[in-house]
A and B are shown apart, each in its own frame.
Chain A
Amino acid sequence: MMTYVTNRTRRAYDRLVVSLRAGWICGAAFQDILDSSARVLANR
Chain B
Amino acid sequence: MVASAELSAAPILTATSNGAGALSVTPGQTVDLHIDLSGLAAELTVSAGYEVRFSVAGLGYQSYVWTLPFASGAGDDLSDPVLASLPAVIADDLFGSAGSLIDVHFDNFASSGGVGNGTLTTLTLEVPIGFPTPSAVVVDVVPGEFVFDDSPFAETPATGPSFVLNVDSAGAVVAATLRAVQTPTSPERGMLPDGITTACFGGRVYVEAWVSQIDGGAAGIAAGSLDLLFENAVTTADAIDHGGIFQGAATGTIDNAAGLIDDLGGATTTPGVGVTPEWALLGRVVMSATAVGTATFTLAHGGVGFSLADGQGPLNGDSLVSLGQGQSVTVTQVQQIGDTDCDQDVDLDDFARFHACADASDPLGDPPLPTECTLVDLDSDGDVDRHDFAILQVRFGIASD
Contact = CB atoms under 8 A, between A and B. Distances in A.
Interface of A: 1-8, 10-12, 14-15, 17-19, 21-22, 24-25
A40 B50 CA distance: 27
Contacts of B107: 4, 7, 10
B78 to A, nearest CB: 7
The listed residue with most A CB atoms (<10 A of its CB), out of B50, B106, B143, B145, is: B145
Contacts of B2: 24
B320 interface: no
B50 A19 contact: no
Nearest to A8: B145
Given A10-B78, A11-B154, A14-B109, A5 B50 contact: yes
Given A11-B145, A11-B147, A24-B2, A4 B97 contact: no
Secondary structure of the B contact surface, majority rule: strand
A2 B106 CA distance: 11
Interface string B124-147: 000000000000000000111101
9 contacts: A4-B78, A4-B79, A4-B144, A5-B49, A7-B49, A12-B154, A14-B147, A22-B152, A24-B152
A15 B105 contact: no
Interchain residue pairs A-B with the least CB separation, the first 9: A5-B144, A14-B47, A19-B152, A4-B105, A4-B107, A11-B145, A4-B49, A14-B147, A1-B95
Nearest to B150: A22
A3 B51 CA distance: 9
Interface in B87-113: 95-97, 100, 105-107, 109
Contacts of A17: 109
A22 B1 CA distance: 11
B147 A6 contact: no
A14 B46 contact: yes
Given A11-B147, A15-B152, A5 B78 contact: no
Nearest to A11: B145
Chain B interface extent, by class = 20 to 34
A11 B154 CA distance: 7
A31 to B, nearest CB: 16
A24 B150 CA distance: 10
B349 interface: no
Contacts of A10: 47, 49, 78, 107, 109
B238 interface: no
B80 interface: yes
Given A1-B96, A7-B145, 15 more contacts: A3-B105, A4-B78, A4-B106, A4-B107, A8-B145, A10-B78, A10-B109, A11-B49, A11-B144, A11-B154, A15-B153, A15-B154, A18-B147, A18-B148, A19-B152
Given A11-B147, A14-B46, A18-B149, A4 B154 contact: no
B147 A2 contact: no
B152 A5 contact: no
Contacts of A24: 2, 152
A4 B95 CA distance: 12
A2 B80 contact: yes
B150 to A, nearest CB: 8
A22 B46 CA distance: 12
Contact of B51 (A5, A11, A12, A19): A5
A24 to B, nearest CB: 5
A25 B152 CA distance: 10
Contacts of A3: 105
A12 B105 CA distance: 18
Nearest to A6: B144
Contacts of A7: 49, 78, 107, 144-145
B154 A5 contact: no
Contacts of B97: 1
